[in-house]
Amino acid sequence: RRFGTKCAACQQGIPPTQVVRRAQDFVYHLHCFACIVCKRQLATGDEFYLMEDSRLVCKADYETAKQRAEAESTAKRPRTTITAKQLETLKNAYNNSPKPARHVREQLSSETGLDMRVVQV
């Protein structure tokens, strides 16, 4: 029990006579050799990804998750719309000093209601 082969998914012992599946150095029970997302049991020849923590993901679910992550990472934040009054305030401040100090930018931010980063840019 202590030193025998254990399933990488459920951590239960595997008797020497039982049929198993292998992925790199990991050994799995047949029923544990399944995708963690869709729970579909993986068969011989199925393409899958082995995660760092020895969990398995079928190719379809991996590709779907990858596309979703790429779409979220490329999403841009909405453009900031600056009103005429805010623009006039910013122009006056930057005409007086092309590189205003931090406290001036903070004051502009509070006056205009714009984010500090918008005032700086």
Domain residue spans in the chain?
A: 1-65, 78-120
CATH 3.40.30.10 fits 78-120, yes or no: no
Kindly state the average pLDDT of the residues 27-33.
87
pTM: 0.54
DSSP state of 18: S
pLDDT for the residue numbered 75: 65
pLDDT for the residue numbered 118: 85
| Per-residue pLDDT reduced to its tens digit, 55-79 | 898 888 888 888 888 777 766 677 8
**How far is residue 106's CA from residue 100's CA, in Å, rounded to a whole number?**
10
What value does the mean pLDDT of the chain take?
A: 85
Question: What CATH number was assigned to the domain covering residues 1-65?
Answer: 2.10.110.10
Structure tokens belonging to residue 50: 């082995």
